[in-house]
Amino acid sequence: MAKKKITGKSRAGKKPSKAEANLSGNLLKTVAAVFLLLFLVVAAGFFFQKYYPLSTFRQPESSESTASKYRHLKAAPPAYEIFPKQERIPPADRAIRKSPPGGLPRVAIIIDDFGYDIDIARKFSELNAEITFAILPYSPQGKKIAQIAKAKNLEIMLHLPLEPSEYPRVNPGPGVLLSSMSPDALIEQLTKDLDFIPHIRGVNNHMGSEITTISTKMYQIFSILKKRDLFFVDSKTSSDSLCKPSARLLKLPFGERDVFLDHAVDSDSIRKQIRTLLRIAQRQGEAIGIGHPHKTTYQVLREKLPEIKAEVQLVKASSIVEIMGE
Quick one: DSSP state of residue 17? P
Q: What is the pLDDT of residue 251?
A: 97
User: For the chain, which ranges sit under pLDDT 50?
Assistant: 1-12, 48-75, 88-93, 95
Angle CA 279–280–285, to nearest 5: 105
User: What pTM did the predictor assign?
Assistant: 0.75
Secondary structure E strands in the chain: 106-114, 131-135, 156-162, 200-207, 231-234, 254-256, 259-260, 286-291, 313-314
- CA–CA distance, 86 with 107 (Å, rounded to integer): 23
Burial class of residue 191, CB neighbours in 10 A (0-12, 13-18, 19+): middle
Read off the pLDDT of residues 7-31 as tens digits, 9 standing for 90 and up. 444 444 555 665 555 656 666 677 6
Q: What is the pLDDT of residue 103?
A: 81
Burial class of residue 137, CB neighbours in 10 A (0-12, 13-18, 19+): buried
Q: What is the pLDDT of residue 216?
A: 97
Q: What is the pLDDT of residue 36?
A: 73
Cross-strand pairs, 291: 111
Q: What is the pLDDT of residue 6?
A: 46
Read off the pLDDT of residues 98-121 as tens digits, 9 standing for 90 and up. 555 568 999 999 999 999 999 999
Q: What is the pLDDT of residue 14?
A: 56
- CA–CA distance, 162 with 97 (Å, rounded to integer): 32
- CA–CA distance, 205 with 79 (Å, rounded to integer): 13
Q: What is the pLDDT of residue 149?
A: 98
